[in-house]
Chains A and B, each alone.
Chain A
C-alpha cells in the first residue's frame, strides 16, 4: 500500500503489510456483520413497532433454513479467518536460517541489547535495512514483552527461557520499542527506540560505537573463569563431554533417550546438569543455577554454539579468533 491509513502505525518491516492486509479483511468482514445486524434491528423495530396496546407478535418462531444459514456461513468465515491468521503467524515466528542474531536481555526497567559484533546498547537498537534480524531474548527478573509496533512483532521475554522474534526492516527511521507485559513500577518507562539505518550508516555506527568483544568472546573468557575448560576439553576424553561441534546435534542421554543440543538444552545443562545427563559421564558437574547471570549465560551459550567441529578445533581455530558470531 502506498497511502497511509489513519491509526495504522508505520510499516517498517516486510511482515507489516501482511498483518495490515489481514486487519483490513477483519475490519471489512466485521463491518459487514455489524451493519447487517444493526439494519435488521432498526428496520424491524420500526416496521413492527407496537401500534395498539394489545397487539402481540406473530407465531413465526422457527426456521431450520435460517438456523443452518447463520450457523454455516459464520463457521466457514471463521475457518477462513483462522487459516489466514495462521499463515501470517507462522511467517511472524519462523525466522529464515540466514537471520543475524542479536542478544536482548530485559530487566526492570530497561532493555539491554548486544550486537553480534559486540556493541552494546540500552533501550536502543540499531539495525540495517534489509537484514533479516533475529532477537534472542531472555529476562533477568520478571516477565517482559518486546514489542515494536512498526514491525508488527511481539514476544514475551520470560526469565529462565529464551524466546525470539525476527523481522526484516524495510524503511529507515526511528520506531518505538515498548514493554507490553506489566513488570512493576516503571513498566511504562521501559520503552526505547529501534533505529533502522542504511547498510552504510549502520557500518559507520558500528565503527563509532565502542565494540568490546563479541558475546562469544565474552563467553570464552567466562568458560575459563568458571573452569569449564578443565573438564570440557576440545578433544573427547575429558571428565566431561567435548563441546566442539555439539550445537544442533543429537546427544545420547544416560537414560537411553536422546536430546537435541539446542539453546534450551545448553541452558538447562549449565543450570541443572543432572537433568539430562549425557551417556557415559558421571554427574560430577556442579549446578550453576543462581551462580551465573542471564547475560553471562547467554554469552556462554553463544560461545558453545560457535565452537567448530572437532577436526576444525585440531587445526587451531576458535570462534573468537575467527570473529564468527553465529
Chain B
C-alpha cells in the first residue's frame, strides 16, 4: 500500500488538539445517536465488557462451588441457574458480538479505505437490538434466571422448568437480529465500499475472516430465531412441537438448535482467526504465508460448518448412519483449520519476529487453538465421542476453542489496535504479564477438565463423586489466575486512556490503511480517499522501495 504524507508527519503533542472521532461531540446524545462506526464500536466495547464481567462472575461462582465434592455453597437450583447464566451471557452476549461488534465495526471501513459502513443507521440499530436483547436477558436473570443450560433442550425447557425461559428466550431471539443486521452490513460494506485499487485479493485477511463470519450470521441466525420462537410458542400456547407428551419431537429441537449453534462456534472463532492473521503478519514483518489458502480456508470453514451439526447428536438416538455421515463431514472441517495453523506458523519462517504483547497473544492462540481443534477431531470420532459426550471433556474442548481461541484473539486485537482506537499506548510490561497469566491460567483451568471428562465426570453437575476433587481444585486454582489475567488489562487500559504515552499514527510500523490515518482517526477516517496499488502486508516491498531498490516479484517454491 502507498505510504501517505500523514505517516511521516510529527505526532501532535496532545490528542485533544486534533479533531478526532472521540472529541467530535461530548454529549451523551452525540454517543447514543452516533452514526460513526468507530463510536458504535466503542458502545459495543463498553456493553460487551459488562457482559464479560457478568459471565465471568458466574464462572467464578461455579468454580468455587466445585472446589468440594458436596454441593455446599448453594442449592442445586441456584447452581443450575448460575451455569445457565454463564453460558447464555458468554455465548450470546460476549463471544458472538465481541470481535465483530468492536474490532469489526472499528476496522472494516478503515481497512478498506471507506468513510463508514454501508448502512450507518442500521449499524446503530444493531447495537440497540443487542442492548434490548441483553436487557431482557438481564431482567430474566434478576428475576431468578433460567435453569435449562444455554442449550434450552425441550421438553425440560418447555414443559418442566418454572424459570424465566420466555423472557430470556425472547432476549436471545431479539439479539439474533443484531447479529443478522451486522453481518448484512459488513457484507455490503466489503462488496460496495472498497477504495480504489482495493481488489478482493488485496484485502487484509481480517476482512476475509469478517466476511466469512457475516455469511454465517446472515444464513444461520434466522434458524435459531425460528427455533426459539417455536420454543416460546410451545411454552406459551402448549403447541405440540417438541414435547412428545403433546405429540412433538424433542430431537427435532436438537437438530434445529445445532444447525445454528454449531456454525455459531465459527461465528466466534473466525473473527479471532481474522485478528491473528493481522498480528502475525505485523510482528513477523512478512506477508501471511499462503494468503489465498488462508483466505479461502475461512470461507471453507464457514461453508462446511453448516453441515456438521449432527455430531452433537451422536448419542441422542439419531440413526447410526446419520452419525457416520456427520462424523465424516466433521473430519473435513479440520482440514481448513489445519491449513490456517500451518500457514501462520510458516509465516514466522524468515520473518522479522518481535514478541510484543499482541504477538504473545497470537502465538498463545495458535497453541490453544491447536489443542482445541485436535480435541475437536477426538470428539468428531464416533467411537471416542460416545464415552466423553456430555462430560467435562466436551467442556474443556469448547473452552479451548472459544476462550483459548476467541478471547486470545480478542485481547490480542484489542492490544494491537488500542493505540489506533485511543491514540495512547498501554504499558507493555504489565501487558506481557497479563498475557502470560491468561495463557498459564487458562491451561491450568481447562486442561484438567479433559482428564476429568475421560474419567467420566458429567457436565452440569452441582455435586460430584470424591475421586474427581483434585482435578477440580486445580481447575479452580487456574480460574483464579485467569481472573487476575483479565483484571489487569481492565486496569491498565483505563489508566492508559489519560496517562498512556501518545502512540503516534503507526506505533508498530504496520502496513495497512488503518495505520495511515491519524490516531485516533478523524470522524471521516481519512483526509482524502486512499488508494491501493499492492497486495497487503507489503513489508518486504516497502523496505526495498525505501532502500531505493527495484521490487522483485514474490518467491515461491
A residues sitting closer than 8 Å to B (CB atoms) are 7-9, 18-19, 22-23, 26, 29-30, 33-34, 37-38, 40-41, 44-45, 48-51, 54-67, 70-71, 74-75, 78-79, 81-82, 84-94, 108, 141-143, 145, 147, 149-150, 152-156, 158-161, 163, 176, 178-189, 191, 289-290
Contacts and interface: CB of A to CB of B under 8 A. Distances in A.
A23 B379 CA distance: 10
Nearest to A162: B317
Contacts of B290: 61-63, 66-67
Nearest to B346: A66
A70 B381 contact: no
Interface in B440-454: 451, 454
Contacts of A64: 556-557
A160 B249 CA distance: 8
B250 A19 contact: no
Contacts of A54: 543
A96 to B, nearest CB: 16
A142 B245 CA distance: 10
Interface of B: 71, 76-77, 80, 147-149, 153, 155-156, 159-161, 244-245, 247, 249-251, 284-291, 293, 314-317, 320, 323-324, 327-328, 331-332, 334-335, 338-339, 341-343, 345-346, 348-355, 363, 366-367, 370-371, 374-375, 377-378, 380-387, 389-391, 451, 454-456, 458-465, 539-543, 552, 554-557
B345 A37 contact: yes
Given A67-B339, A92-B383, A143-B156, A30 B375 contact: yes
Given A58-B286, A61-B290, 16 more contacts: A44-B345, A49-B354, A50-B352, A57-B287, A59-B287, A59-B552, A62-B554, A74-B335, A84-B381, A88-B382, A89-B320, A153-B386, A154-B315, A158-B317, A182-B149, A184-B161
A147 B377 contact: no
Contacts of B460: 182, 187-188
A61 to B, nearest CB: 4
Q: Which of B80, B155, B383, B460 has the most A CB atoms < 10 Å from its CB? A: B383
A67 B293 contact: yes
A34 B464 CA distance: 32
Contact of B374 (A19, A30, A45, A67): A30
A51 B354 CA distance: 9
Given A30-B377, A59-B540, A78-B331, A85 B348 contact: no
A15 to B, nearest CB: 9
B438 to A, nearest CB: 17
A82 B328 contact: yes
Given A44-B345, A58-B286, A187-B462, A86 B327 contact: yes
24 contacts: A23-B384, A37-B367, A41-B363, A50-B352, A55-B285, A55-B352, A57-B284, A57-B285, A57-B352, A60-B349, A60-B555, A63-B289, A64-B556, A81-B331, A82-B382, A89-B386, A147-B456, A149-B455, A179-B458, A182-B149, A184-B147, A187-B80, A188-B460, A290-B245
Nearest to B543: A56
Contact of B383 (A38, A85, A147): A85
A184 B425 CA distance: 49
A22 B381 contact: yes
A61 B464 contact: no
A149 B456 contact: yes
Contact of A142 (B160, B349, B454): B160
Given A48-B351, A57-B286, A61-B556, A155 B317 contact: yes
Given A161-B317, A176-B456, A37 B366 contact: yes
Q: Which of A84, A91, A187 has the most B CB atoms < 10 Å from its CB? A: A187
Given A59-B540, A87-B383, A155-B315, A41 B366 contact: yes
Nearest to A8: B454
A45 B353 contact: yes
B316 A158 contact: yes
Contacts of A66: 290, 342, 346, 557
A158 B250 contact: yes
A37 B338 CA distance: 10
Nearest to A85: B381
Nearest to B342: A70
A84 B383 contact: yes
B548 to A, nearest CB: 14
B244 A180 contact: no
B352 A156 contact: no
A63 B350 CA distance: 14
Contacts of A7: 451, 454-455
A298 to B, nearest CB: 15
B371 A57 contact: no
Nearest to A164: B317
B310 to A, nearest CB: 13
B324 A86 contact: yes
A188 B462 contact: yes
Contacts of B247: 289
B341 A89 contact: no
A300 B375 CA distance: 44
B348 A44 contact: yes
Contacts of A160: 244-245, 249-250
